[in-house]
Amino acid sequence: TKVLLNNRIVDLKSANVNILDRGYQFGDGVYEVVRFYDHAYFELEAHLIRLKESCEKINIPFKMHLKKLESDLVYLMNTCDYSTGYVYIQITRGVMDRNHIYRDQLDLKPQLVAYTVKEEKRPLKLMEQGITVHVTDDIRWLLCDIKSLNLLGSVLAKNKAHEKGAKEAVLHRDGIITEGSSTNVFIVKDGTLYTHPANNLILNGITRRVIIDIAKKEGIPIKETAFTIDEFLNADEAFTSSTTAEIMPIVSVLLDEKTYALGTGKRGVITQKIQDAYSDLIAKIPQN
Ligand code: PLP
């Protein structure tokens, strides 16, 4: 495995980071995950723009040229011996003596690390069968639009879901569904698609944006309007979306030790239509 360390490609073994890196001490940094299929990145530019925006929102200066970073990441992808996988990219604020205050540290240099991971196959079977989710409190902070390295809220929620045999945690704030622990959440009711508006309470997923575009093209009414737990349980269809798990039907829901079937308990027709359109986009990715 090769690693992109700032602007150098190095072997994993020699890709060491300083323990005083603020990413390690404070989770002071941001990240991205970008899929590649058959040697081509999907929505790379959108992910890199979001990476830059995440940096800017927490005052990490982002001085790289996106095109240069893009070509470094393409180079990195081409060093691996598999054609399908994803790249993990993180940027931390840099290395300094441990201190919450970073503002007087003019010599802080942001540190970028990126490496690729092999993805066995697209989760096609699960994408047809659907998954069970566990509904739980959204205990995260109020800047969820930043793709922050601080993932404890998501880690705890996902583990609780896993303990209960569910694949994903669906989070709510005071009864309003926000998103999943590492996914966005959509429902279908009476032919209309609903998802939480892109504000500070969710990460505006790149997959979410692609789905909204697909819905517009396919003539499926789409409302960026939040819904309640009750509306979620009574939806005709529901699914999660993310770069790695793509579009995953939700077919049953665990809540307060009870299990509810979602819709018919099977993948819905609108969900499938969106999955198909998404697969078409993947099949047509321009070569980087
Ligand atoms: N919401 C959260 C909290 C996430 O962590 C993620 C992805 O990791 C998503 C949504 C989906 O975002 P994307 O579609 O860009 O992968």
Which of 55-59, 120-124, 187-191, 244-248 is predicted least confidently?
120-124
Arithmetic mean of pLDDT, 69-90 = 96
User: Atom 4 of ligand 1 has which residue's CA nearest to it?
Assistant: 182
What amino acid occupies position 33?
V
**Domains of the chain with CATH codes:** 2-118 (3.30.470.10), 124-283 (3.20.10.10)
- Residue 44 falls in the annotated catalytic set: no
pLDDT above 90 as % of the chain: 93
Residue among 203, 237, 246, 278 flagged as catalytic: 203
Residue among 179, 201, 237, 278 flagged as catalytic: 179
- Residue 168 falls in the annotated catalytic set: no
State residue 123's pLDDT score: 86
Encoded tokens for 250? 């939700």
- Residue 203 falls in the annotated catalytic set: yes
pLDDT band per the 50, 70, 90 thresholds, residue 44:
very high
Q: Report whether residue 32 contacts ligand 1, using a CB cutoff of 6 Å.
A: no
Compute, in angstroms, the gap from residue 107 CA to the centroid of ligand 1. 32
Kind plus residue range of the DSSP H or E element containing 113: strand 111-118
Arithmetic mean of pLDDT, 261-282 = 98
The values of phi and psi at residue 198, to 5°, are -80, 85
State residue 105's pLDDT score: 74
What amino acid occupies position 132?
T
Arithmetic mean of pLDDT, 39-45 = 96
SS3 of 6-25: the string is: CCEEEEHHHCCCCCCEHHHH
State residue 288's pLDDT score: 63
State residue 103's pLDDT score: 81
Compute, in angstroms, the gap from residue 266 CA to the centroid of ligand 1. 24
- Across-strand partners of 91? 30, 112
Buried b (16+ CB within 10 A) or exposed e, 247-264: bbbbbebbbeeeeeebbe
State residue 120's pLDDT score: 72
pLDDT above 70 as % of the chain: 99
Closest CA to 218 of 238, 242, 188: 188
- For the CA of 50, the closest atom of ligand 1 is 15
Q: Report whether residue 268 contacts ligand 1, using a CB cutoff of 6 Å.
A: no
pLDDT at 17 over 70: yes
Name the residue of 54, 183, 185 whose CB sits within 8 Å of the most ligand 1 atoms, as the mutation to test its pocket. 183
Q: What is the pLDDT of residues 104-154, one digit of tens each?
A: 777 899 999 999 999 877 889 999 999 999 999 999 999 999 999 999 999
Residue among 2, 4, 31, 254 flagged as catalytic: 31
Residue among 147, 193, 194, 254 flagged as catalytic: 147
Q: Report whether residue 203 contacts ligand 1, using a CB cutoff of 6 Å.
A: yes
Arithmetic mean of pLDDT, 237-248 = 97
Arithmetic mean of pLDDT, 6-18 = 93
Compute, in angstroms, the gap from residue 97 CA to the centroid of ligand 1. 32
pLDDT at 276 over 70: yes
> Can you tell me whether residue 201 is helix, strand or coil?
coil
Positive or negative: CA dihedral 223, 170, 118, 50: positive
Q: What is the pLDDT of residues 166-222, one digit of tens each?
A: 999 999 999 999 999 999 999 999 999 999 999 999 999 999 999 999 999 999 999
- Angstrom distance (rounded) from CA 260 to CA 193: 20
- Mean pLDDT, rounded, of the chain: 96
Q: Report whether residue 271 contacts ligand 1, using a CB cutoff of 6 Å.
A: no
- For the CA of 179, the closest atom of ligand 1 is 1
